[in-house]
Amino acid sequence: MKKILSILFLLVSVVCTAQNHLQDSINIRRMSNYILTNAHGHEDLRYLCKQIGHRLTGSPQAAKAVAWGKKTLEEAGCDNVFLQEVMVPHWVRGEEAAYYEVGGRKYGMKITSLGNAVGTGDRGVKTSIVMVNDIDEFDRLPESAVRGKIVFFNYRFDQTNINTFHSYGPCVFYRWAAPSRAAGKGAAAVVIRSVSSAYDDEPHTGVLSYDKRYPKIPAIAVGNTTADKLEELVVNNKRPKIYIRTTCEMKRDVKSYNVVGEIYGTELPKEIICFGGHLDSWDVGEGAHDDGAGVVQSIDAIRTFKKLGIRPKRTIRCVLWMNEENGARGARAYMQQAKEKNEHHILAIESDAGGATPYGFGLTMSAAKKDKVQAWKDLFYPYNIYNFSRKGGGVDINPLHKEFDTPTMGLLPDGHRYFDMHHSDNDVFENVHRRELCMGTIAMAMMVYLVSQHGL
């Protein structure tokens, strides 16, 4: 009798699983059809980029973006929309000018100051340059070879990596830490070859971090073709000099906000799935891929649930974080408030790798949870979402993982063009393809839906 009951129980379980699987497939197709046949997300991005523009924290545009985000989530039909206060840094770029000089002739250079950098002062800095190809070469230089000069870190983006993010990581050191390393030997300023995969002359910005042990010195980036020219001059012993004038400065912190919109779970409302992107951007370009795409994808996922009447069993929460680019204070504020409210996040997802065609999710979680996600693979395959083998997270959700061991995911779009645009004037609305953006929204909505229905 026990054996018969066990078999019956197994059969009922199989039938229920199959029915759930079929209903999941139907709902996912409904979401996909809705997203692909409506232009809500793309039009949201157009407004964010063209009517508000770039959104560096502390700027008037960032404040406008907060108001827009709150209004858009309310119009999307969230059960609750609220703001989380956070004090953010207020760095201002100011004026920038530069040239290199060879044989008494001056040649203009397009530059961008690195984020949070100090300025040169009104007179600027003009001196000879010392070129090094990597930090090991720099470390071998005596202080006498560096003092009073401009150090040119000529470290190249590795074009041989198929996954461009593998090239990004090593380059970031030269943007983040090299200025202080140079200051430690008495350098007057730093120039870096941009963290860029593009063969153009567009400089790319990004945050640096000053080591408190050393003086703060100006730091700028140049595009790849200018970097090639400087390299050629040094190699051919032309003894170029560089003039830099920048007026960037850090002002007092400014009050800003994370924007949060949620749909309450029907069965397990205290289990929270948060997902989103960062609302701020650098003050170049329009912040379209970084991270306007992640913002509008997340809003449109919420909108899709509401428009189709799909009620999640667990609470789903769209978060538009503030200050990812030059401080990550919004991320820490979100984690701290979750801690104070004793909230239970069962998953956090971030879309912060651009709006190109997605192919998977990176997963940082236990093996058992990874296995559960892998069990949904056949639901993702029809949408060309197939890769769940990498680790994943994001600057804005990593504090949750660190503090609570919250499982994290990062959407994985195609990255071949991303670092052509990242942190530069190339990151504009026109460089985001509507259908590719929609496919990212579909991937996000699918994952949120499945975890909201079945847990993790």
Distance CA(453)–CA(456), nearest Å, equals 9
Give, as one character, the DSSP assignment of residue 396: T
Distance CA(329)–CA(379), nearest Å, equals 36
Q: Name the packing angle between helices 60-76 and 293-308 (round to 10°).
A: 20
230: Cβ contacts below 8 Å, ≥ 6 apart: 100, 129, 131, 152, 154, 191, 222, 240, 242
Give, as one character, the DSSP assignment of residue 292: I
Question: For residue 278, how many other CB atoms are within 10 A of its CB?
Answer: 30
User: What is the signed CA dihedral for 220, 225, 231, 234, rounded to 10 degrees?
Assistant: -90
DSSP codes, 171-213: HHHHHHTHHHHHHTTT-SEEEEE-S---SSS-----B----TT
Q: Is 118 helix (H, G, I), strand (E, B) or coil?
A: coil
Q: Are 275 and 317 in contact (CB under 8 A)?
A: yes
97: Cβ contacts below 8 Å, ≥ 6 apart: 111, 124, 243, 244, 245, 246
Pairing state between β 150-153 and 125-132: parallel
Q: How many residues does the chain have?
A: 456
Residue 271 a catalytic site member: no
Q: Bridge-partner residues for 255, per DSSP?
A: 87
Distance CA(221)–CA(198), nearest Å, equals 14
Task: Give the active site residue among 262, 271, 324, 350.
Answer: 324
What's the token pair of residue 90?
A: 């207020």
- Catalytic residue ranges: 324
